[in-house]
Amino acid sequence: MSGPPVLWIHGFPLSSDVFIPQRAISDARHFMPDLRGFGSAAPPSQPLSIDDYSNDMFSLLDSSRVRKAVVAGLSMGGYIALAMAKGNPERIAGLILIDTREVADNQAARAKRLEMIGAVEREGIDPVARDMLPRLLSRNASPELVSRVEAIIRRSSVTGVTAALAAMAGRPDSSQLLPRIEVPALVVVGSEDVITPVADSERMVARLPNARLHVVEGAGHLSNLEKPRDFNEAVGRFLAAEMQI
Ligand code: MLT
């Protein structure tokens, strides 16, 4: 593999399997880890913050001897990407912010996460699958794709899910950070995203000094998975234009 290192950080309650279509992006060295307690990663043994996941990502880069990478974060992965940009900006070559947002949870969103933690502790993964699955893809997604996403969700561990919910509830607002991020950024969003709608991405682009927006028409929250060709072309153009590292 040649080209810039790209670290892909998945969303909640998913795994790196959502990035399988992005392996086709050539001229990049892809790193696609599972966050703790998701996919094949061991569950966390203690509560986590978004900064803890960010530290995990830097440790992975360290163990691969990668000093500087493009960080591509999908939704919760975007929250982690912003934490990485805040903590170690010199290690970030560029950002790809996918169906995500910079603002913190409001009180209602935080309360819903705490309720979900209780439900998952009592009933397992079912409640989170019921809540998330109908909102992750557009209404036009094929039943086959819906089943694939459901299978990914159901591999998640209870402690992985509850730790991630608590970490997202406690994450800081990154609005003041965005104007200080000078590296090139690509902000991508599905036109049908109901979790982080297009307006969230437009606001991030307005606050970032060096960002461009790409709207994936007809895709929901998992825009990379639902319309991989459109998504991959946008990323390929961004990497070719901006990333000579
Ligand atoms: C995600 O896709 O990672 C989550 O929907 C993010 C969130 O719940 O804020």
Q: Which residues contact 230 (CB under 8 A, 6 or more apart)?
A: 216, 217, 219
Helices of type H across the chain: 50-63, 76-87, 107-123, 126-136, 143-154, 158-169, 198-207, 223-226, 228-242
- 44-88 residue pLDDT tens: 999 999 999 999 999 999 999 999 999 999 999 999 999 999 999
> Ligand 1 test: best mutation among 8, 9, 10, 12, most atoms within 8 Å of CB?
12
- Ligand 1 pocket, 8 CB below 6 A? no
Instruction: Check pLDDT > 70 for residue 244.
Output: no
- Ligand 1 pocket, 75 CB below 6 A? yes
Instruction: Check pLDDT > 60 for residue 166.
Output: yes
- 114-129 residue pLDDT tens: 999 999 999 999 999 9
Instruction: Check pLDDT > 70 for residue 205.
Output: yes
- 212-224 residue pLDDT tens: 999 999 999 999 9
- Ligand 1 pocket, 213 CB below 6 A? no
Output the CA 189–ligand 1 centroid distance in Å.
Answer: 13
> Ligand 1 test: best mutation among 34, 75, 149, 224, most atoms within 8 Å of CB?
75
Angle between helix 158-169 and helix 107-123 axes, rounded to 10 deg: 170
